[in-house]
A and B are shown apart, each in its own frame.
Chain A
Amino acid sequence: MPDALRQFADTYLMWQEGPMIWISDVLILLTSIGIVATLTYFKKWKWLWREWLTTVDHKKIGIMYLIAALLMMFRGGADGLLMRTQLAAPGMHFLDAEHYDQIFTTHGTIMILFMAMPFIFAMFNIVVPLQIGARDVAFPYLNAISFWLFFFGALLFNISFVFGGSPDAGWFSYPPLSELQFDPGPGENFYLLALQISGIGSIATGINFLATILKMRAPGMTLMRMPLFTWSVVAACIVIIFAFPALTVALALLMLDRIVGTHFFTILHGGNPMMYINLFWVWGHPEVYIVVLPAFGIFSEVVATFSRKRVFGYSSMVASLILISVISYFVWAHHFFTMGAGADVNTFFAVASMAVGIPTGVKVFNWLFTMYRGRIRLNLPMLWTIAFVPCFALGGATGIMLAAAPADYQYHNSYFLIAHFHQVLIGGVVFGMLAGMYYWWPKMFGFKLDERIGRWAFWFFNIGFYVCFMPQYALGFMGMQRRMYTYPADMGWGTLNFISTVGAYLMGIGFVLIVAQVLYSIKYGERDLTGDPWDGRTLEWSLPSPVPHYNFAVIPTVTDRDYWWKLKEEGRTDELKPKPEDIQPIHMPKNSGRPFIMGVLFFVAGLGFVFNWYVLAVLGLLGVVVTLLARSFEYDDEYYIQPEEVEHVEAALGRL
């Protein structure tokens, strides 16, 4: 028996891997025990199930996405710090090559798919229905499914660290390296299954929000009266719908290669690895626009609010969003100019890549013109927005350098590239999402995040960012390639790498300060009693904070862009307070535990495929089919909130 136990521990728990895994195991165990004990002690299990795990309320789902995104930012950030520690000096042995491979793989995958994606979905969920004057999304039940698929996909990915081994073929897992022959462990399977499961959720979210925005807007809110964040969600959803299926196919075919033994991307028997790389980037490049477009939307909202001006060039903002989403499909080959496709193909993709800069430039100028002669307030959302502009402009400029195909032969896969995409993704997406989080935090929770700690966090993170990534541009020119786990001293890269590591730690301190800020503000943050703490312009600020679960007691009729601002200017804000005679029964979706269970079943099926335990996999998939059928036969899934209850809630909020 002890032999069997030891074998199990070696195969699945990776007991021979050393102290890092042991410490992780212990920490995970302690945290789990802590969570279970706390929930039991405070008798919160029922509350957790009723209020959160079974909810179909877009606001709660949004909050869960936000929490998940911040946790994943921690995990991905810890990976980043481990890498920077290893690279701080030449010839370090803090990590060995194998662990370094795993850590850069999980860092990239987590930051893009399990941090950036849930962060934008958090914003979609929390903001869109409120901005368009709706009571929920078009398909609330599907929305819950999307969340739980994301959640269990992320869990499956993260569990690989302590159970079976992490993926180690890079965040885009190029074959033939990621084929079974060269990468036999379960790590790659974890990558494939986790991304597949959460990808299904993402596709559903794209469909859901596009249908919501097209069909559920308040009367009078024509498309060209929609707030720009909502427009950015339209653009992002279109890209999700048309890009994610390519990822689904790329992952599925690689999975078939690994599990069934097909030859799509193998070297032998006629396979073609470049096909995977094309499919992956047909999704992968649009993906970066999926995450950055909503950030653009947030900047547009923040700039207008904190400059107290209508956004400059609304129509051109909308046009450039749509243009970016279209061009984003025609740039994917710039990730592999060195493939050898020939000058004609490379020229097309180089020109298209540079063309993205045009609509993006339009947006940057519009933000600047909005600020011009505005009455600017430098609150936290605006601070991050202003920091974004130069950061993104610089990232865009190095992007143009990379887009020049002949020159790219020099930069390809060097630290110059690493610095470039971190600059656009951190400067664009992370700054944008943090701006959005600060901006809508009072709407979610009813209190502001503390400005003072927030400013410290802002400066640590921003200075840290430049200290970390500017040296990497130079390192790229000096010949340092990505994914090197160590380097000899005589290359002369030591100093710049050390500076870069210092910057990474400064960013880490910035993140810790943000966490401290949240914890501090829960208790001491300024309460938002008006529902409109920033003097906002759009409909969500006409509601109390936090918003009652039916959102609008009476659906407003919109007559203008920035409707709430217009009402404030004309002193007509009382028009949006509900009158008792107007309150009707409100039709709402019922909570359901099935989306959660479906997520669990997908997780079980995923685990089955990862370890080639096909009985488990088939059982999981059958379970999924059963939950789908159960949903199909469910007819009683909606209820009405009676007017008395609505009046009661509104009266308690002092709005009647």
Chain B
Amino acid sequence: MAVAEKALGHAHGHLSGADLAKPLEYQDPHQSVRILGFWLFLATDMLLFGCLFATYLVLHTHTDGGPTAKELFDIPGFTAETFILLTSSFTGGLATLAMRNRNKKQVLAWLAVTILLGLSFVGLEAQEFYKDVLEGATMQRSAFLSAFFTLVGTHGSHVSLGIVWMFSILLQVAKRGLTQVTARKIFIVNLYWHFLDVVWVFIFTVVYLFGVVL
């Protein structure tokens, strides 16, 4: 252990040694560089959604005589999805806060709540898509629907992947407790989760609100 600590300062870069004044996830420079890496990844993911939004905006009037946004979107449905996802982002934030307070039980509890909220969001969205398809509004019907399902579906699959990921981190925290490594993982998965929340705010506005209002 002594060797390991002495070596920390000479790690495979020369990330300087541990800084205990920082929050747990930032203390070990090997972990904090991963947080930076993840921010950079989020930049790429943001651009990905940006391109999908651009595509949607170009194609959203191309309904080819099929269902339009106004006919399709179900106000109570997407309002419920929005509230559930925003709440899950809040509970995710509580998990990060509990991690910084070194409270493992609370971390596990809030992660579990976040996962459950995420599952209900995905469930509602799947139900919405299913209903649309039954009404004949399939991806193949028009360019508008292709763009709609792809944009919202890409977000939904991001959330689904996030659920699997968050669950794996929940298991790791349960097994290993709160260390610098697991703390970094909790922090990053919540960064991802908040990011998806921000994307949803734009989907809510640009797709659903504009869709029913304009």
Residues of A at the B interface (CB closer than 8 Å) are 133-136, 138-140, 142, 203, 206-208, 210-212, 214-219, 241-242, 244-246, 248-250, 253, 256-257, 260-264, 266, 268-272, 275, 279, 282, 555, 584-589, 625, 629, 632-633, 635, 640
Complex interface residues of chain B between 26 and 43 (CB less than 8 A to chain A)? 29, 33-34, 36-37, 40-41, 43
User: Inside 8 A of B143's CB, which chain A residues have their CB?
Assistant: 262-264, 266, 269-272
Q: Which of B114-144 contact A (CB under 8 A)?
A: 139-144
Q: Contact check, A215 vs B142: say whether CB atoms are below 8 A apart.
A: no
Whether B8 sits at the interface, judged by CB under 8 Å, is yes
Complex Cα distance, B12 from A589, in Å, reads: 8
State the CA gap A589–B30 with chains docked (Å): 12
Given the known interface contacts A275-B58, A279-B51, the answer about A139 and B43 at a Cβ–Cβ threshold of 8 Å is no
Instruction: Enumerate 9 A-B pairs (CB-CB under 8 Å) in ascending A order.
Output: A207-B44, A210-B40, A215-B13, A219-B14, A246-B47, A264-B150, A270-B142, A282-B51, A555-B10
Quick one: given A219-B14, A279-B55, are A203 and B44 in contact (CB under 8 Å)?
yes
Contact residues of B between 1 and 35, Cβ < 8 Å to A: 3-4, 6-15, 29, 33-34
Q: Flag if A640 contacts B165 (CB, 8 Å).
A: no
| Chain A residues within 8 Å of B8, by CB | 587
Whether the pair B14, A215 counts as a contact (CB closer than 8 A) is no
Tell which of A135, A206, A207, A633 touches B12, judged by Cβ atoms closer than 8 Å: A135
Is B172's CB under 8 angstroms from A633's CB?
A: yes
Find out whether the CB atom of B37 lies under 8 angstroms from the CB atom of A134: no
Q: Which 5 A-B pairs have the closest CB atoms?
A: A270-B62, A216-B13, A270-B143, A262-B146, A245-B47
B75 CB-CB contact with A under 8 Å: no
In the assembled complex, B64 has its CB within 8 A of some CB on chain A:
yes
Q: Is the CB of A271 within 8 A of B62?
A: yes
Count of chain A to chain B residue pairs whose CB atoms are closer than 8 Å in the complex: 158
B164 part of interface (Cβ distance < 8 Å): yes
B11 touches A264 (CB 8 A): no
The answer to whether B14 and A218 touch across the interface, beta carbons within 8 angstroms, is yes
A633, B142: Cβ atoms under 8 Å? no
Interchain nearest-CB distance for A179 vs B (Å) = 13
The answer for the CA separation of A172 and B9 in the assembled complex, in Å, is 48
Please measure, in the bound complex, the distance between the C-alpha atom of A245 and the C-alpha atom of B43, giving whole angstroms: 10
Q: Are A211 and B47 in contact (CB under 8 A)?
A: no
Whole-angstrom CA separation of A203 from B37 in the bound complex:
12
* CB contact between B41 and one of A207, A212, A219 (< 8 Å): that residue: A207
Q: How far is the CA of A468 from the CA of B44 in the complex (A)?
A: 39
Q: Is B74 an interface residue (CB 8 A)?
A: no
A206 to B140, CA, bound (A): 35
| Contact between chains at A584 and B10 (CB < 8 Å) | yes
Residues in chain A near residue B64, CB distance under 8 A: 263, 268-270
Q: Is B152 an interface residue (CB 8 A)?
A: no
> Which residues from chain A contact B58 at a C-beta distance below 8 Å?
272, 275
A584/B13 contact (C-beta < 8 A), A244-B44, A246-B51, A633-B168 known: no
Q: A256 and B146 in contact (CB under 8 A), knowing A214-B36, A263-B140, A279-B51?
A: yes
Whether the Cβ atoms of A584 and B7 lie closer than 8 Å is yes
- B203 nearest CB across to chain A (Å): 16
Is B181's beta carbon under 8 Å from chain A? yes
Residue of B nearest to A582 (CB): B10
Q: Which residue of A lies closest to B144 (CB)?
A: A270
Determine whether the beta carbon of B37 is less than 8 Å from that of A207: yes
Chain B residues positioned under 8 Å from A589 (CB to CB): 12
Closest residue of B by beta carbon distance from A260: B139
Of B7, B37, B150, B172, which one neighbours A253 at CB under 8 angstroms?
Answer: B150
